[in-house]
Amino acid sequence: MKSDSSKFDISRRNILKYGGGFIGTGLLAAAMGVETLTPSPVVAQNDMTPDQALAKLMDGNKRFATMKSKNPNQNLVRLQELAKGQKPFAAVLSCADSRVPVEIIFDQGLGDIFVCRDAGNIAIKEEVGSLEFGTLVLGAKILLVIGHESCGAVIATMKGGEVPGSIGTILAQIEPAITEFMGKQDDEMAVRKAVEANVLHQIEVLKRSPIISDLVAQNKLKVVGAYYDLDTGEISLVG
């Protein structure tokens, strides 16, 4: 008997073989056991362009940074509306840092953003696969990669040297992006530039995905970098 995980065993080669026709239908969603739901006005809609989705995120961040948050979609009623399905308009890869709560800094709520978080916002294969799911199957129109001020993972990589446990596997994913900044962890501007360089590197890793690159080529998705300022709460675009 096949395990449930076999439903997700769809090779990238087959994705490329079927191309846009595969992406433009509910075939993959059905193959992965995801129901195609009739759109509901109360569920976050992704029937918008990538530019509109990005604008929605940035408008929300502006409200947050100016202390005018509306705190939408953050109650039990909303959760119950989403119980049968989700249609997030955005996907985000961000650092796991506790000071970067994605829905809060974009003034969004339940069902609005498909979020992957890990230290250093690195695009390891599990994160790439998750974001392929969030964009292709769930239909997110913008994929934002967020680095942030004083990122501990980036600073640790800049310092170099031995680290305990499995932390080194994280730093190894950051180091190729920031070689020119190694040893400059005491320079505030160098740290920011290293954080931004890491964001751009992780975007390039994500774009190696045939699924994500195909969505971008069809103008169904934008992949954008961002920097989060811990002092102001503001998001600025990178690249």
According to DSSP, the β-strands at 222-228 and 113-118 are: unpaired
The predicted-structure confidence for 59-85, as pLDDT tens digits, reads as follows: 999 999 999 999 999 999 999 999 999
> Domains in the chain, ordered, with CATH?
4-238 (3.40.1050.10)
- Residues 119, 170 contacting (CB under 8 angstroms): yes
What is d(CA 28, CA 93) in angstroms, rounded to the nearest whole number?
23
User: How confident is the model at residue 36, as a pLDDT?
Assistant: 43
pTM (2 d.p.): 0.84
The predicted-structure confidence for 18-59, as pLDDT tens digits, reads as follows: 444 444 434 555 555 554 444 444 455 678 999 999 999 999
Q: Is the pLDDT of residue 4 over 60?
A: no
What is d(CA 34, CA 126) in angstroms, rounded to the nearest whole number?
19
The predicted-structure confidence for 166-222, as pLDDT tens digits, reads as follows: 999 999 999 999 999 999 999 999 999 999 999 999 999 999 999 999 999 999 999
Q: Is the pLDDT of residue 96 over 80?
A: yes
Percent of the residues in the chain that have a pLDDT greater than 90, as a whole number: 79
Sheet with 142-148, strands from edge to edge, namely 113-118, 90-95, 142-148, 222-228, 235-238
What is d(CA 217, CA 200) in angstroms, rounded to the nearest whole number?
18
- Residues 226, 235 contacting (CB under 8 angstroms): yes
Please report, as a single letter, which amino acid is at residue 188: E
